[in-house]
Chains A and B, each alone.
Chain A
Amino acid sequence: MEENSDTIWKDGRFGKSREISYYYDQKGQYDKKVEFREDTVKVLVEQHWDVINDRIEEARQKVLTGKASPIVFYMEKTLADPITVSMMSGISLWRVKWHFKPSVFKRLNEKTLKKYADGFNISVEQLKKIQ
């Protein structure tokens, strides 16, 4: 019920929960085992999150230097792409891309901002400036 904030590499394990997997042994028998996730998968997840974090950081720099609007930052932060943002907010794709410009974003009315904020699940004030 309360938010689970355990990251998956706590104690080098994948969260607190074990997962089931089926396997095949050389004698031709199938069986299943319950275990914590293996390190191979952890490497992949870490690498993936490295790439994602780099992208978020890059987006943050762009926004701070005035090269992109905060929508770009929140898009990267929620792991979305322009199509997903368009579907989340209900604004057409070309308009979403148009709003990536900071100068255009400044002129947006409250109604449109509210749509974006609802899509990203944040308030309009949070949308206007990034932390």
Chain B
Amino acid sequence: MIIDFKHNHSGHCESGATSNLIRHYGLEISEPMAFGIGGGLFFCYFPFIKAQEAPMFAFRTLAGKIFRHATERIGADTVMIKKFKDPVKAMAELDRNIENGIPTGVQVGTFHLKYFPPEYRLHFNFHNVVVFGRENGVYHIGEPVREKTQLLLREDLQKARFARGMFGPNGKMYYIRSVPKQPDMQKAIYLGIHEAVRNMLKNPVPFIGVKGLRKLAKDMKKWPVKLPEDKARFYLIQFVRSAEEFGTGGAAFRYMYGAFLKESAELLKNDLILKASTQMGEIATLWRDLAYRSSRFIKNREESHESYTILSEILQECAAGEERIFKGLAKLNA
């Protein structure tokens, strides 16, 4: 059975899957809107958690949060099953959903998705796709970051849903039962913005939000002094990769968030949000500049102490700009 599901190409996996699923139930919601209402903007830098021997950076909230918050805030009725112990049961549940005509979002690890080129197959367990059809052991996948829908064998999907490693997906799946026709968009948008403000400014942990950006900027200055040359270089590569790869990350998320602010400013006719959207566009351009510069340094192998200092200064500027934007947005009263 193949469900008549309209696949839209998106920039980021989870907000794309969320907006595609909501659109299936008749409410037109764009990808930036889903991202913003879900409160997706985030930054964290954990110097002591190592992934592939480099510190961990994250530019998004935990997997599943964007879907949960976005649907909750527009008042949709959803089901999210966080964990399965038995892969066979998890696949049976998915099959039943498809037989009932419900497109279902699943969290997968990218390592087992055979339709990606080999260079993409990393141990990355936060990927989200929509499954919308099945025939003879082949599943139809609405892969948000691909233009066309993809096909995947049953055993590969099962392996991907139970990918092991850090933060394994454990077969997590989610779907929508119903979406209201006329949701209260103002309330939803305000809640989404306030969550981003909380994440970026008010989290007491010093590695999260603007504080995390400042800490990273400080540490980055010290990398060439404290670490051997190739290690510092690998740290920088990892940072820029996590900021730029997969079309998402630092700059791309800022552009998407700016698009969300712009769209909501037009919807609610709010000057405060409009101003924030222009500022966000400028900061996003700065982030992109940061990525370009670092990749040029890496390419020409001219990382010296000065180049790390330049990057760290740009990062400080980003942090200051984001602090200004979110302090402005905190004045919104819901």
B interface, how many residues as a size bin? 35 or more
**Cα of A47 to Cα of B278 in the assembled complex, Å:** 34
Chain A residues, CB < 8 A from B146 = 17
**Chain B, Cβ-Cβ closest to A83:** B166
Q: Is B272 an interface residue (CB 8 A)?
A: no
User: Is residue B199 within 8 Å, beta carbon to beta carbon, of the partner chain?
Assistant: no
For residue B238, which residues in chain A have a CB less than 8 angstroms away from its CB?
48
Inter-chain contacts of B292 with A (CB < 8 A): 40
B176 to chain A: which residues have CB within 8 Å?
none
* Other-chain contact of A43, B166, B282, B298 (Cβ < 8 Å): B298
Contacts of B114 in A (CB 8 A): 1-4
Residue on A nearest B116 in the bound complex, by CB? A4
Q: Which of B282-324 contact A (CB under 8 A)?
A: 282, 284-285, 291-292, 295-296, 298-299
Cβ–Cβ contact A41 & B9, under 8 A: no
Q: Mark B248-259, 1 if CB is under 8 A from A, else 0.
A: 000010011011
Query: Which has the most chain A C-beta neighbours within 10 Å: B9, B51, B296?
Result: B9
How many residue-residue contacts, CB under 8 A, span A and B?
Answer: 125
Indicate whether A108 reaches chain B with its CB closer than 8 angstroms. Answer: no
Interface string of A74-106 (1 = CB under 8 A from B): 000011110110011010000000000000000
Q: CB distance B255 to A81 under 8 Å?
A: no
Q: Give residues 1-41 of A contacting B (CB, 8 Å).
A: 1-8, 15, 17-24, 28-30, 32, 34, 37, 40-41
Q: Which residue from B147, B153, B241 sits with its C-beta under 8 Å from A34?
A: B147
Q: B152–A1 contact, CB under 8 A? A: yes
Q: For the side of the interface on A, what is the size category?
A: 35 or more
A5 touches B123 (CB 8 A): no
A20-B247, A22-B11 known; A30 vs B147 contact (CB < 8 Å): no
Interfacial chain A residues near B285, Cβ < 8 Å: 24
Q: Is the CB of B164 within 8 A of A87?
A: yes
**B37 interface hit (Cβ, 8 Å):** no
Q: Which residues of B contact A (CB under 8 A)?
A: 9-11, 32, 50-53, 111, 114-120, 122-123, 138, 145-147, 151-153, 159, 164-166, 168, 230, 234, 237-238, 240-241, 244-245, 247, 252, 255-256, 258-259, 262, 277-278, 281-282, 284-285, 291-292, 295-296, 298-299
Residues of A bordering B, CB below 8 Å: 1-8, 15, 17-24, 28-30, 32, 34, 37, 40-41, 43-45, 47-49, 51, 78-81, 83-84, 87-88, 90, 119, 121
7 residue pairs from A and B, CB less than 8 Å apart: A1-B151, A17-B147, A22-B256, A30-B258, A30-B281, A83-B166, A84-B166
- Extra 13 A-B pairs, beta carbons < 8 Å, given A1-B138, A4-B115, A47-B237: A1-B114, A17-B147, A20-B247, A21-B247, A21-B255, A22-B252, A29-B262, A30-B255, A34-B147, A44-B241, A44-B298, A51-B234, A88-B164
